[in-house]
Amino acid sequence: MSSIHFLPPANYTVAVELGFRDSRSKRCWSAGAGFSKRWCPRMRSIRAETAAETFGSRKGESLGPNGECDCDIPGRSAPALSNVGNSTNIAWHECPIGKVERQILLNQKGCVIWITGLSGSGKSTLACALSRELYALGYLSYVLDGDNIRHGLNKDLCFKAEDRAENIRRIGEVAKLFADAGVICIASLISPYRRDRDACRAMLPESIFIEVYMDISLEVCESRDAKGLYKLAREGKIKGFTGVDDTYEPPLNCEIVIAPTDGECPPPGTMAKQVISYLHENGFLKA
């Protein structure tokens, strides 16, 4: 897939130079509203004054007229405290640079691509292929792989139903933060229960949660068995394994379905292009 080159005109309304080069070693830029400035190939960074001039103040009662954080405003009353879950006396801290500004900086819209399916269906393969293709096009993504997350953040969880629900909830909250940062977040995990996936969808605006269902049969997945997990499950050495002695609930109304064509599973590049086409068509690959 060929790269898209972000090359500025002679006069442009922009404040930022992105921190990567395209395939021709050209600097990549992101256009944003604010003020006109003559392009200079030696421009290396954006000064704080320029950012303030470009983005100005954000709406919100916790910000000052010039976009100061609430803690910097003399005479401002203390923010209202609230209780959330088991956390008490906490307050939301608003910052002057928000999601819109970050998306302008990256020239893309933050979203969550949630890849679900049986073990061996190709979720991680698609996630890596998609991340690679987006990188080649000049877009920033990050993969949250289910096994990888269990090496750290979720290493205290097992595979009981309640722990699986907490595993999904935590990953959903992390994915939400990535999307708010303007990053294309690719979550790749079995997530077998429909209610847990729907709970993650409910955390986000409907339009930025993109559910991708790997519609690959159990027979195909078991024949692959790259990790040898199906064999262990059939031998009774793994309990509660999805597809063997625990259920998988397919999505009822997902955005994208990856399915075999003429009995053949699509190659990674083809699967990635299917997802990228959706991102293009729905405006995620522009600020």
Pairing of strands 27-38, 11-21: antiparallel
Given the residues 141, 191, 217, 223, the one annotated as active site: 191
**CB contact at 8 A, 108 and 6:** no
Alpha-carbon span 61 to 93, nearest angstrom: 11
Q: Are 156 and 166 in contact (CB under 8 A)?
A: no
Strands 141-145 and 184-188: what pairing? parallel
Contact 182, 99 (CB under 8 A): yes
Q: Which residues pair with 266 in a beta bridge?
A: none
Q: Who contacts 162 (Cβ-Cβ below 8 Å, separation ≥6)?
A: none
Q: Is 77 an active-site residue?
A: no
DSSP string of 19-77, one letter each residue: EEE-TTSPEEEEEEEEEEEE--TT-----HHHHHHHH-PPPSTTS-TT---GGGSTTPP
Catalytic residues: 191
